A and B are shown apart, each in its own frame.
Chain A
Amino acid sequence: MARKPAKANRRHPLATVVLIAIGLAFTGGGYALFTSTATAQTDTASSTSQSSVDEGKKLFAANCQTCHGMALEGTPAGPSLLGVGAASVDFQVGTGRMPLATDGPQAMQKPPQFTEEQTQALADYVASLSPGPAIPTADQLTANGNATNGGELFRINCAMCHNVAGAGGALTEGKFAPDLTGVDSKYIYEAMLTGPQNMPVFNDHNITPEDKRDIITYLKYLQNNPSPGGFELGNLGPVAEGLFIWIFGIGAVVALTVWLTAKSN
């Protein structure tokens, strides 16, 4: 399921232009300031400090503003970010989906372009302009909830797109729901909360924070307890099983019939 976008296209075509513009604006000393604030940021990564917001503002201007507008109002090239909250920014930037690499049916996951601190700074900046869902705290993410409840909610709310085992599935016009195996709990939570791209929003009235934790608990249970029946064939159901029987089952049996009927040397 994992889709690895071509590395050559990782950067948005406009990013270079923007970078040159920024480079002209913030010369020499500006660069020094940039690096020093980034290092300073590590100490106060979790709290929303003014310095983080300022840092985020610069990063936003350099990397996001072209499409999303200076005041998050959006442009024809990208949606408005008003009210999306820190959670959305953390998901999109933290999973490498933003900045967008290439035009396509949907933004692809790829190695993130920014450090955790920079991502945090962007999130702080966006949240400071327009409040929205916050990044979940660590205790909202611990996988010690009720796996039964989580499983039932997962089947009703998630499985139709992501498959019962979280192996992912197809959407319309080339879009797809990604494989959830190995995805960080934080991003699963943020995705439910903010509804990235074409995923619907599952706000806290629909799926409460406890429910969300239960769903994460269930997914982690599936991940930590491999199938008792053996290799899972990608958890893709009967199609994978059918291919397996035709390629390996029939293949092995036919090879054996050939051996069986061949004359011995």
Chain B
Amino acid sequence: MSTIQRSDVPHEVVDPAFAETPKIANTPASRFTSAAANYIDERTSISAVVKEFGRKIFPDHWSFMLGEVALYSFIVILLTGTFLTFFFQASMAEVTYDGTYLPLKGIDMSAAMNSTLHISFDIRGGLLMRQVHHWAALLFVASIGLHMLRIFFTGAFRKPRELNWVIGFVLFILAMAEGFTGYSLPDDLLSGNGLRIIDGLVKGLPVIGTWTSYLLFGGEFPGTEIVGRLYTLHILLLPAILVAALGVHLLLLVINKHTQFAGPGKTNDNVVGVPIMPVFAAKAGGFFFIVFGVIVLMASFFTINPIWEYGPYDPSPISAGTQPDWYIGFADGALRLVPSNWGFMIGPWTFSLNIVAPVVVLGLFIVVVLIYPFVEGWVTGDKREHHIADRPRNAPTRTAIGAAGVTFYAVLWAAASSDLIATHFGLSIEGVIRSLQILLIVGPIIAYQAAKRVSLALQKKDREIALHGYESGRIVRLPGGEYIEVHEQLSDYERWRLLSFEDYKPLMLRPDAKGRISAGQRTRALLSNWFFEDRIAPVSATELEQSHGDHGAVEAGEGHAVESGH
């Protein structure tokens, strides 16, 4: 670390090119700027907003940018989507294709498919815009997923941000819904079969299934309504809700301020980082263009959703490897993993357990993710605000739960490509599916144990390093002939980064005023024991002093810093 203090070298002297001191400008340009600013302020009191937010501080960490990736891909989706609406016809009226693509000439298809082909083959840049839109959509959902993982593993959902977790989660669901409705719009063979699966899934729901499907499709599947209805959802209703929820999400972000990782000078009471104006604005603004650029680059070189190969929807044909877009994969995988012959009759009615079971399992999974912050909050009973993001290792049980959840999701996701896994690795489909069925149960357990042990081990390592320093790799020989390795001590800054974290202990059950122990308390004690029974307490000041004392003795005696060797 450099020890040069900024004050040693005044910034202004560094670069004369940028060192213009702000004089009272009198050029025509500056006169115009000040007049315009005055005009706007007199009508909006914008100055107050600039004063309030202009120098607001944002912490800088790469993982804090993931939400921005989602936001920016959403903007790209809005821009390109608007372009596409100018050409797309959300109609299932049958037309005969007479466009550029030779192998479909003369084929009957819906106006939706026809207009999508028209966008792809007859409008300059149309195919590019379609591909930008679709790649951006994939990136949108992927970045939300990654953003959520960051929030989860750093505990950034704790008070006061539980509600924002819920809103963010709703945004995730909305993004998937947007994705699925959009995927279905071209009415091609792939998406048509996707809708067929939705139809079958809905029909399998007890009591309401048949009618729900009938109403959804406006009659028998596939009907002539569904594309128009999905289009309304895709471009009106879902985006409206999404934008509103996004607004609240960002508003709460401003109100709660961003979390930050533990570090020297960072406390629960402050935010350390760069001000919006100018650094954060330049970085975040620039980052929008970068994300946009990455998406356009992908869209320029990589085909996505080649509907001309799929052809128009028809209930008879199907393609090998029919899969949904990645974010629906976990649901498709859940359908695939159900063992044969699940289902039974209840009197005259059919109960399709092969549909209900995956729906219930996925529903529970989603609910657990949604309410997790409240569960953890209840178990810890911690009512304080938390603005310091945890390092995942410092909350081993939470990290383990997260790892188990990720594994569960990943197995379902992999199951959605069971056929491609089989063909590409020379396996049998049956073998792949049976293995994944087992892995769905066993995988999360293994992941849980592994993540927990690794977290605890890392915590132990941190503790060792904090107390005794790093192994420097330098071997010295003591006068007595003994060889030892010199340990380098941490600086105060580094040590603080390692050691400042929250520590919790399991709940001690105590009878309440009436001398009873409620069932709720018992559950909470059980859960808190599960959460915190394996814990490694942070190093205390006394411990450190003692260990330093040892070092001091050795140093005084031998002139070297050596490990005190507990």
Contacts and interface: CB of A to CB of B under 8 A. Distances in A.
A239 B422 contact: no
B329 interface: yes
Interface string A220-238: 0110000111111101111
A173 B322 contact: no
Interface string B274-316: 0000000001001100110011001011111110011100101
B320 A147 contact: no
Contact of A155 (B62, B189, B290, B419): B189
B143 A253 contact: yes
Nearest to B294: A252
Contacts of B272: none
B139 interface: yes
B320 A163 contact: yes
A245 B283 contact: no
Given A148-B105, A155-B317, A235 B143 contact: no
A182 interface: no
Contact of B323 (A165, A229, A238, A256): A238
A105 B62 contact: no
Contacts of B426: 3, 174
Contacts of A260: 62, 65, 283, 286-287, 290
A164 B319 contact: yes
Nearest to B426: A3
B427 interface: yes
A253 to B, nearest CB: 5
A252 B61 CA distance: 16
Interface residues of B, number: 71
Given A159-B317, A177-B320, A249 B103 contact: no
A112 to B, nearest CB: 22
A104 to B, nearest CB: 9
Interface in A235-256: 235-239, 241-246, 248-250, 252-254, 256
Given A230-B303, A236-B321, A257 B423 contact: no
Nearest to B283: A260
B65 A261 contact: yes
B385 to A, nearest CB: 25
A250 B295 CA distance: 10
Q: Counting chain B CB atoms within 10 Å of each CB, which of A161, A164, A243, A260 scores highest? A: A164
A10 to B, nearest CB: 17
Interface residues of A, number: 60
B362 interface: no
Interface in B64-109: 64-66, 69, 102-107
Nearest to B424: A1
Contacts of A36: none
B311 A164 contact: yes
B423 A147 contact: no
Contact of B319 (A163, A230, A250, A258): A163
Contact of B104 (A148, A171, A238, A252): A148
A151 B103 contact: yes
Contacts of B528: none
Contacts of A246: 142, 326
A172 interface: yes
A227 B306 contact: yes
A168 interface: yes
Interface in B425-473: 426-431
Given A167-B321, A172-B429, A249-B135, A230 B62 contact: no
Contacts of A258: 62
Interface string B141-158: 011001000000000000
Contact of B127 (A3, A172, A228, A245): A228
Given A221-B103, A229-B131, A172 B69 contact: no
Contacts of A174: 422, 426-429, 431
A183 interface: no
A242 B317 contact: no
B60 interface: yes
Contacts of A116: none
A1 B324 contact: no
B259 interface: no
A164 B188 CA distance: 12
Given A155-B311, A164-B189, A239 B416 contact: yes
A211 B406 CA distance: 49
A210 to B, nearest CB: 16
A24 interface: no
Given A253-B139, A253-B291, A253-B294, A238 B325 contact: yes
Nearest to A252: B294
Q: Counting chain A CB atoms within 10 Å of each CB, which of B61, B290, B309, B325 scores highest? A: B309
B489 interface: no
14 contacts: A148-B103, A151-B104, A152-B311, A159-B319, A174-B431, A229-B302, A230-B303, A236-B420, A238-B325, A241-B325, A245-B138, A249-B142, A257-B66, A260-B283
Given A159-B320, A169-B423, 9 more contacts: A159-B317, A160-B318, A169-B320, A176-B423, A239-B416, A244-B302, A250-B143, A256-B287, A257-B287
